[in-house]
Chain A
């Protein structure tokens, strides 16, 4: 008889205590969403054209085509701009053959062969071809073709990378009493991975002039035995880069929580 009574009174007491504590609370955690304004004012544009990229690094991934596809699909989902669906520009080919001037020369001019992506090991190797981004006549012509969009172009360098050194990893061990526990273990490891360096160049399709550019870099290393395919690593690295790319064109919201105090 006394047992249940004691239990009820304890429950009541704890309820009173909780209610009292809530009433007396002097701080409150609250979720917030901080808006980060877009870095570029794109209000003058209704369309965006992800044109193509100068790509290098590895022959395993077509940095130009994959980057164009991925950015277009992301912009379709996360931007108010209409995404121009057109063939990807073979930008290296255009740069090699002289941009707008080369096109003006017509088919009479003998086309030069474009170099293989793997022949570009660093950003410096791509520099001789970057004159294409300053070719306002070429971009203006492209702009006219697609109703004066915001044009996105740039460079993509996706290079294999390896590194060896001490790495800390967690190892499960069983002690003499048969208990499992996790211990940090440091060991020498050969790791392989990729570095993705992207330079995004934004061009005004009405004038053909460059209005903004941004360079981003990500790298990832894997255990040598993992045999991670180049394409899946490329997508992993792009997952990191895409939010920063999108924040150039549209306002992003960063979710978090803060404490309000009485």
Chain B
């Protein structure tokens, strides 16, 4: 009985590992395609690819980072902020994500301050 249970647990662990690896491989393909199109200036297509990547693998920090960059380029600053935060939550010590986020915050804070200083 115990051996059967152990076998089942092991099988589940191995299969989920394989599924995780598959998800990461699929997501990585989307991310790479997104980078290629972004480099050609096709940012909308890149957004579609990176959104797909985050759906396939919600733990893929690079996909969230790239998505944040694309949102920023398209002026969707709120969405960009959320995506950067998600990327940093997944990889808090990634220096590239941190650097992107710092640069983003500089612009975001500036626009926020501008809106606050206005009077009706």
Contact = CB atoms under 8 A, between A and B. Distances in A.
Nearest to A251: B75
A262 B39 CA distance: 13
11 contacts: A27-B96, A34-B72, A213-B120, A214-B114, A254-B107, A258-B72, A258-B104, A259-B69, A259-B99, A260-B38, A262-B32
Q: Which of B66, B94, B120 has the most CB of A within 10 A?
A: B66
B62 A30 contact: no
B118 A213 contact: yes
Main secondary structure, interface of A, reads strand
B96 A28 contact: no
Interface of A: 27-28, 30, 32-37, 39, 212-215, 244, 247, 254, 256, 258-262
Interface of B: 28, 31-32, 35, 38-39, 61-62, 65-66, 69, 72-75, 77, 94, 96-97, 99-100, 103-104, 107, 111, 114-115, 117-120
Contacts of B38: 30, 260
Contacts of A215: 117, 119
Contacts of A39: 114-115, 118
Contacts of B74: 35
Nearest to A213: B119
A36 B72 contact: no
A37 B75 contact: yes
Contact of B114 (A34, A247, A259, A261): A247
B73 A34 contact: yes
Contacts of A214: 114, 117-119
Contacts of B111: 36
